[in-house]
């Protein structure tokens, strides 16, 4: 069976002989925790696989969960920034992920090249590619495997694709910016959250028509999940650090929870007879653990690597897997112990993740895989000098130069800020904040100071200073610094 974070995929309910092997219904993965008590638990096996969609390296990393080792990567494109040529044909921003009910096909969504790539899981080979509208986000198969639904976040519809012909069959009109969709357990309703509109669209799956729209607290939701008893959906709001709970029968909001800075995804796990919610909080480098009572309570906080994003649990519930967007790795959590017990290196900026069982019948399953194309990143925290601001920089080495992903938060709205490196008077880049005082972007520059020939002096430091406007570099008057 399959477990997914970021992209939620229907799967077969043929766990044991209690269930019919002839029928499928649209049961969202990760939400199946309520059923684990009646299933035959299976620890991660060498026949199983964990996949991550790596946005910056444009790869799919393939992990053996039995040993927590990276087997290799499926290369779908070149790493940033080696994709600007007019002759470039690879994928850009490998981001979303889904999986067929028979576990034979992996679907990978690339939002920069507007593509949906179909991969044979037995051979790791690309079978076909479908191009859809602007900036698709997530994709998954219907329960019977006859269709793939892809939310086209850069526009206002869900693209329905035939996985045999790789052609679009129809479009389901939505509000602008559909971010993710999940099926109710009986397969009758689908819940579509949005990244641009503060509403959840409830869709009749048979008619492909929206039957209700539910107002929510913010317009940016990248993730939605069912509780194990299917009585609620929980959706994250990344921009305001909240989680909204919606009753699946009344289709009404039942509560809003304050979580933390950059609330990404969530999963549910049963610990000592109690169902708990695990929420990744990217801005705090932590997974926060909550009860699922009518009034949820914070139980604990588990430190993780840099910017936790996607999260899911193993089939037997003994492990939770967390993708580290800025750590280029996957943290493995023991939910009983409440701590990280392993870390697996993967591609750059992992986004969607999927756990799929019984993928490889025999052998190592390394066909068409390449060695890891990237090295480990360096994370730098930016601290405020005077303003109530924050930020961080992810440094990825490109040889003679570095790619620096700069993220600035809580600065003055609609204001230009200039970045200086290593105390140099010439600015490396400038960013203008949005109406909320946030800005982000990637700059290419040599940050790491090379040692002089024959020098033994190790005192040289690399520094980043962020100044408001075009003010000359001055650490004491800076908005943010890393020294």
State pLDDT tens for residues 92-148. Answer: 999 999 899 899 999 999 999 999 999 999 999 999 999 999 999 999 888 788 889
Averaged confidence pLDDT in the chain: 86
Q: 70: which strand partners? A: 63
Choose between 456 and 47: higher pLDDT. Answer: 47
pLDDT at 7 over 80: no
Residue 105 to residue 100: CA distance in whole angstroms = 5
Instruction: Give the residue-averaged pLDDT of 37-51.
Output: 68
Please give the C-alpha separations between residue 423 and each of 381, 401, 408, 449, 450, in angstroms, as whole numbers. 17, 17, 19, 11, 15
DSSP assigned state of 261: S
> pTM for this structure?
0.86
DSSP assigned state of 475: G
Residue 82 to residue 266: CA distance in whole angstroms = 33
Q: 412: which strand partners? A: none
Domain range summary for the chain, segments of one domain joined by +: 2-356, 378-482
Residue 213 to residue 193: CA distance in whole angstroms = 10
CATH level 2 (architecture), domain 378-482: Sandwich (2.60)
pLDDT at 2 over 50: no
Preceding amide of 81 cis, omega within 30:
yes
- Residues 78 and 88 sit within 8 Å (Cβ to Cβ): yes
How many other CB atoms are found less than 10 A from the CB of residue 265? 28
User: What confidence score (pLDDT) does residue 38 get?
Assistant: 31
- CATH assignment of 2-356? 2.130.10.10
pLDDT at 57 over 90: yes
Do 2-356 and 378-482 agree at the fold level?
A: no
- Select the highest-mean-pLDDT range: 10-14, 246-250, 354-358, 456-460: 246-250
In 3D, which of 42, 79, 32 has the Cα closest to residue 59? Answer: 79
User: What confidence score (pLDDT) does residue 322 get?
Assistant: 92
- Residues 6 and 225 sit within 8 Å (Cβ to Cβ): no
The pLDDT confidence band at residue 71, using thresholds 50, 70 and 90, is very high
- Burial category of 98 from C-beta neighbours within 10 Å (exposed 0-12, middle 13-18, buried 19 and up): buried
Residue 212 to residue 44: CA distance in whole angstroms = 40
pLDDT at 34 over 60: no
The pLDDT confidence band at residue 349, using thresholds 50, 70 and 90, is very high
């Amino acid at each position: 069976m399959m477990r997914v974070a970021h992209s939620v995929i229907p799967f077969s309910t043929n766990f044991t002989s209690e269930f019919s092997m002839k029928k499928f219904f649209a049961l969202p993965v990760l939400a199946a925790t309520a059923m684990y008590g009646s299933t035959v638990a299976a620890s991660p096996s060498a026949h199983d696989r964990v996949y991550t969609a790596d946005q910056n390296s444009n790869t799919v990393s393939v992990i053996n969960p039995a040993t927590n080792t990276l087997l290799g990567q499926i290369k779908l494109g070149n790493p940033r920034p080696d994709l600007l040529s007019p002759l470039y044909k690879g994928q850009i921003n490998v981001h979303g992920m889904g999986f067929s009910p028979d576990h034979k096909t992996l679907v990978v969504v690339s939002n920069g090249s507007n593509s949906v790539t179909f991969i044979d899981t037995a051979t790791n080979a690309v079978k076909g590619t479908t191009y859809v509208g602007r900036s698709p986000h997530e994709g998954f198969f219907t329960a019977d495997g006859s269709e793939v639904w892809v939310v086209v976040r850069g526009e206002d519809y869900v693209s329905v694709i035939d996985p045999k012909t790789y052609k679009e069959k129809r479009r389901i009109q939505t509000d602008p910016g559909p971010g993710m969709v999940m099926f109710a357990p009986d397969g009758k309703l689908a819940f579509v959250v949005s990244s641009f509109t503060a509403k959840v669209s409830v869709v009749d799956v048979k008619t492909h028509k929206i039957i209700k729209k539910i107002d929510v607290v913010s317009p940016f939701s990248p993730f939605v999940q069912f509780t194990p008893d299917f009585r609620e959906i929980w959706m994250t709001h990344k921009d305001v650090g909240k989680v909204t709970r919606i009753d699946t029968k009344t289709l009404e909001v039942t509560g809003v929870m304050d979580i933390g800075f950059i609330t990404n995804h969530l999963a549910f796990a049963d610990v000592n007879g109690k169902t708990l919610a695990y929420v990744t909080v990217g801005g705090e480098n932590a997974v926060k653990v909550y009860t699922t009572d009518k009034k949820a309570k914070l139980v604990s906080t588990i430190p993780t690597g840099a910017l936790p994003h996607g999260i899911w649990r193993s089939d037997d519930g003994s492990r939770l897997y967390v993708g580290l967007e800025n750590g280029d790795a996957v943290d493995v959590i023991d939910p009983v112990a409440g701590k990280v017990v392993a870390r697996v290196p993967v591609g750059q900026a992992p986004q969607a993740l999927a756990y799929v069982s019984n993928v490889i019948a025999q052998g190592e399953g390394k066909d068409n895989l390449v060695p890891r194309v990237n090295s480990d990143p360096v994370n730098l925290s930016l601290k405020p000098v005077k303003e109530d601001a924050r930020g961080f920089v992810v440094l990825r080495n490109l040889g003679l130069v570095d790619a620096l992903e700069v993220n600035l938060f809580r600065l003055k709205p609609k204001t230009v800020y200039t970045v200086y490196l290593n105390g140099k008077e010439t600015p490396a880049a400038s960013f203008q904040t949005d109406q909320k005082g946030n800005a982000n972007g990637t700059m290419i520059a040599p940050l790491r100071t090379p040692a002089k020939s024959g020098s033994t002096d190790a005192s040289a430091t690399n520094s980043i200073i962020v100044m408001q406007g075009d003010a000359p570099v001055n650490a004491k008057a800076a908005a943010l610094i890393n020294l």
